[in-house]
Amino acid sequence: MSKSDHIDLLVRAFKAAWDYYFQPGRNSDVLECLARPALAEFLVSKVREGVDDEPSLAAAGLQFLFSLEDQPEELVGEPDASWNVREAA
């Protein structure tokens, strides 16, 4: 499979998984701005593992998107528990 064939495969599989997951009216806690690059990276890794048919790649991508719903959100800049609150006198 040529490089352009791989790219075409990735684009089609990405679109299939994305369109199925992010249907209009579907409620999801997954942020599109984070999910798109993560899905692209995931699909590339699957192609590198040897997955080279569109239905399998799209299904893996869709499963990956659903798995993002189960991921706990990471706190950015967790508060330092060592601080104290003092009342002003």
Extents of the domains making up the chain: 3-68
Q: How many CA atoms lie within 13 A of 72 on its CB side?
A: 3
Q: For the ranges 20-24, 41-45, 48-52, which has the lowest average pLDDT? A: 20-24
* pLDDT score of 11 more than 60: yes
pTM: 0.73
CA 21 remoteness from chain centre: 11
The Cα angle at residue 53 between residues 65 and 60, in degrees rounded to 5: 15
For range 36-58, the mean pLDDT: 95
Running DSSP on this structure, what letter comes out for residue 52?
-
Is the alpha carbon torsion for 73, 19, 66, 24 positive or negative? positive
Residue 37 has pLDDT above 90, yes or no: yes
